[in-house]
Chain A
């Protein structure tokens, strides 16, 4: 198995605004969202980042996708550094999160062409790819409808398809089934397995155990920005259910950090 992604002590802190400090009843000026996170993902696997709300999953994925820069540490994607070669990294990944939106005014059809163009995809290849993907996700029916007039599920499908215009080797997906009904969610998860079978690597984040159990080959559990364990699904769960194991890890981690703070 080829290591296609390696995160090395990724760290990210955010300055808290005074307003934020007041809301969260904290005197801290900075919040450490991601704390020296290291992990690896291998070609052709689905890697899941599992963690509670505010654990730093989205922040980690945004760093990997080069939207934000780590304060310290680095990550190599297909051998390219997210710090020093962000453009190359961007050409090899797809990034999907609710933060990235499509312009309401345009149709999925036009946007597919537009992003193909930005990724410098050969027009003939792009046309074939569009046909295949639109058919696969039933976008044909609303390919000419403005994004603003689509339901949120339709929008997510369109976003997913458009993020794949350049047939990326690595797909980074923040909460893949968030806001989708069971049917659409299944379409998406089935598609992710299919992509893995084609040899793509998928990094996803979630706090849904069933999704992880169904989909992931390996997982990393993040709590308070730190990687608690990172291993194959069976090795992490050991002989408990994943959920029970997670609570165990969570209690241990929070107790550790509290006693660590006290010391």
Chain B
């Protein structure tokens, strides 16, 4: 059996094209694609750093000029008769914001603050902007917030969250783990499956198609050794392939979710927040899952007549696996129903969620690994039977 494993490894690792296409390419492609999506999205939502937005203000009150002086904006006083022209510019996206204050805005406000409200008519401030221009939009938001704050400060009934500090008390770890737990199980399952799919059919139907498996079948090697050797070696390679995709996604993750806030240390956080035991558990679960996937794909491959047919036949299985992965995407914690851990593949996703969200039970992990290995063992048994069957091995 070890001879088979060694041969498969040699076949794979000394073939530069295979290593490239199965190990490097998936990771690289995923990294590039997701980084591209991430940075494109970020580009879309952030402005050019050198750009200084301009606010045109009619009857600019001193108080507001002072407020806005901290921000990186230029405030240009404008005359009332220029308003129409500036509005056209805003519509054409060549200007950002036009603020029209009534005359004597500050005086009105100070009157009100002094409690002199009899003759008081609340001044009307108009902010013209263009919602499809990012800078315009953000200037609008900025000025609106400032004016609201100013108003609140002038006349305080109560305040909500007035301080500078962040009021969201979520820790970076749990925010990260929450995100990982919802996203990663699905991606992991998908990558492991596609990893298995890129190796198993080639190694099983490929050999059948080329007539090289018959040469193995006339040696005294036991069929189960052949089946087990194939599944173990393919699984190792599939695991590496899945890992490659996985590293790709982890590296591009900061860019991908950079949109949602400054969590660029995400991958660092992710790397340090799990203990070695967590990683070991994860690896055990992942490897048992790969064994199962490879076992299933190998059986389908042995049944198929050509590599192409095998790939077609495997596709429905891939969809099922993806659906299983999706089931946990929106649930935030792993199930505690023991029976559910007896369902191969589904249990893997559950346990992975558990591990990633720090809420796993070692018993469930053990049951999961055991069930998957057992299921893979059944696959080895079936594959052995198939290797023994001339109808399967010599079908044309």
- Say which residue of B7, B207, B211, B221 sits within 8 Å of A99 (CB atoms): B211
Shortest Cβ distance from A66 into B: residue: B218
Cβ of B394 within 8 Å of any chain A Cβ, yes or no, is yes
Q: Are A90 and B3 in contact (CB under 8 A)?
A: no
A68 touches B218 (CB 8 A): no
- Among A91, A99, A103, A117, the one with the most B-chain Cβ atoms within 10 Å of its Cβ is A103
Min CB gap A205→B, angstroms: 16
Known interface pairs A69-B390, A103-B11, A114-B7. Does A90 touch B210 (Cβ–Cβ under 8 Å)? no
Question: Given A68-B390, A106-B11 in contact, is the A99-B220 Cβ separation under 8 Å?
Answer: no
Question: Which of A67, A87, A104, A105 contacts B222, CB < 8 Å?
Answer: A87
Within the complex, which residue of B207, B216, B394 is in contact with A118, where a contact is CB–CB below 8 Å? B216
Question: Within the complex, which residue of A65, A68, A91, A102 is in contact with B220, where a contact is CB–CB below 8 Å?
Answer: A91
A117-B229 Cα distance, complex, nearest whole Å: 14
Give the CA-CA distance A104 to B219 in the complex, in Å.
19
| Chain A residue with the shortest CB-CB distance to B4 | A118
B215 part of interface (Cβ distance < 8 Å): yes
Q: How far is the CA of A102 from the CA of B221 in the complex (A)?
A: 17
Q: CA separation between A246 and B86, bound complex, in Å?
A: 108
List the B side residues contacting A104 at CB < 8 Å.
210
Cα distance, A120 to B1, chains bound together (Å): 11
Asked if B220 and A100 sit within 8 Å, CB to CB, the answer is no
Whether B212 is near chain A, meaning CB under 8 Å from some CB there, is yes
Q: Which chain B residues in 373-395 approach chain A with CB under 8 Å? A: 390, 394
Q: Which residues of B contact A117 (CB under 8 A)?
A: 3
Query: Which of B10, B217, B219 meets A119, CB within 8 Å?
Result: B219
Mask of B198-224 contacts with A, CB within 8 angstroms, 1/0: 000000000100111011111111100
Residue among A88, A93, A99, A100 with the highest chain B CB neighbour number at 10 A = A100
B221 close to A118 (CB less than 8 A):
yes
Contact status A114-B3, CB under 8 Å: yes
Considering only residues 101-129 of chain A, those with a C-beta below 8 Å from chain B are 101-106, 110, 114-115, 117-120
The residue on A at minimum CB distance from B214 is A100
Q: Is the CB of B219 within 8 A of A68?
A: no
Q: Which of A76-91 contact B (CB under 8 A)?
A: 87-88, 90-91
Q: Does B15 contact A (CB under 8 A)?
A: yes
Task: Determine how close the nearest CB of chain B comes to the CB of A168; give it in whole angstroms.
Answer: 10
| Interface size in chain B (residues, C-beta < 8 A) | 20
Does A134 sit at the interface, judged by CB under 8 A?
A: no
What residues of chain B lie closer than 8 Å to A47, measured between beta carbons?
A: none
Least CB separation from B14: chain A residue: A105
* Complex CA–CA separation, A91 to B220 (angstroms): 5
- A173 lies within 8 A of chain B by Cβ: no
In contact, A67 and B220 (Cβ under 8 angstroms): no
Residues of chain B lying within 8 A (CB to CB) of residue A65: 218
The smallest beta-carbon distance between A212 and chain B, in angstroms, is 25
Most chain A beta carbons < 10 A, residue from B210, B211, B222: B211
Closest partner residue, chain A, to B218 (CB atom): A95
Instruction: Determine if A103 and B210 form an interchain contact, defined as CB atoms under 8 angstroms apart.
Output: yes
Contacts of A95 in B (CB 8 A): 218
Q: How far apart are B239's CB and chain A's nearest CB, in angstroms?
A: 22
A68 and B7 CA atoms in complex are apart in Å by 25
**A162 shortest CB reach to chain B, Å:** 8
Question: For window 1-58 of chain B, which residues contact chain A by CB distance below 8 Å?
Answer: 3, 7, 10-11, 15
Measured between beta carbons, the chain A residues less than 8 angstroms from B394 are 67-68
Query: Within 8 Å CB of B212, what residues of A?
Result: 101-103
A101 touches B210 (CB 8 A): yes
Give Cα A119–Cα B219 distance, bound, in whole angstroms. Answer: 7
Task: A93 to B212: give the CA distance in the assembly, Å.
Answer: 18
CA A100 to CA B212, docked complex, whole Å: 6
Residues on the A chain within 8 Å of B215, using CB: 100-102
- Ordered by A's residue number, 28 sampled pairs between the chains whose C-beta atoms are within 8 Å are A65-B218, A66-B218, A67-B217, A68-B390, A68-B394, A69-B390, A88-B220, A93-B218, A95-B218, A99-B214, A100-B211, A100-B214, A100-B215, A100-B218, A101-B210, A101-B211, A101-B212, A102-B212, A103-B210, A103-B212, A104-B210, A105-B15, A114-B3, A118-B216, A118-B220, A118-B221, A119-B219, A120-B220
Sorted from nearest, which 3 A-B pairs have the closest CB atoms?
A91-B220, A101-B211, A68-B390
Chain B residues engaging chain A, CB cutoff 8 angstroms = 3, 7, 10-11, 15, 207, 210-212, 214-222, 390, 394
List 11 other contacts, CB 8 Å, given A67-B218, A118-B219: A67-B394, A87-B222, A100-B214, A101-B214, A102-B215, A103-B11, A105-B11, A106-B10, A117-B3, A118-B3, A118-B221
* A residues lining the B interface (CB < 8 Å): 65-69, 87-88, 90-91, 93, 95, 99-106, 110, 114-115, 117-120
